[in-house]
Each structure stands twice: as structure tokens, then as C-alpha cells.
Amino acid sequence: MEVSKMSFGKQLLIQVGINILASAIVSYIMYKLLQPKPDPTTPPPAAKTVGSTPTVTATTVPTTTGEGQ
């Protein structure tokens, strides 16, 4: 009885792990498939969503110093 419960628990853990891995892979593939479409047309929104403040400040500071002008 105890051995069958252990094997069942292991099977369940393995199944859950496989399901999590599969869902993560599917979501990653979907993200990669959806990313290139808006990327060539509008790259700034994609960069802003990842990290709005650091990217914007990094690009704005050099232009305000006078390098861009």
C-alpha cells in the first residue's frame, strides 16, 4: 500500500512538472512568435514594457547633455 502511494505521488509530481514545463515552453514560443510582429513596426513600446524607466533615462540623458545635438 505504502509503495503504491509513493509511486503514485512520484507519478503525480512528474506529471505536474511536465505540465508546468510544457506550459512554460508553449507560452515562451507564443511570446517569441508574437514579439517579432510588433518589433519591426514599433520597437520603443516593446523596450518600454520590459523596463520603461531605465531604458528611457539611458537614451534621454546622452541627448540632453549635448551629444545628440
Structural domain including 62 reads 43-69
8-67 tens-digit pLDDT: 889 999 999 999 999 999 999 988 888 755 545 555 554 444 444 444 444 444 444 555
Q: What is the pLDDT of residue 59?
A: 45
Residue 55: partners with Cβ closer than 8 Å, 6 or more residues away = 47, 48
Q: Are residues 18 and 1 in the same domain?
A: yes
Q: Are residues 2 and 27 in the same domain?
A: yes
Q: What is the pLDDT of residue 9?
A: 86
DSSP state of 36: T
12-28 tens-digit pLDDT: 999 999 999 999 999 99
CB 21 within 8 A of CB 29: no
Q: What is the pLDDT of residue 34?
A: 82
* Total count of domains within the chain: 2
The answer to whether the predicted template modeling score (pTM) of the entire model surpasses 0.75 is no
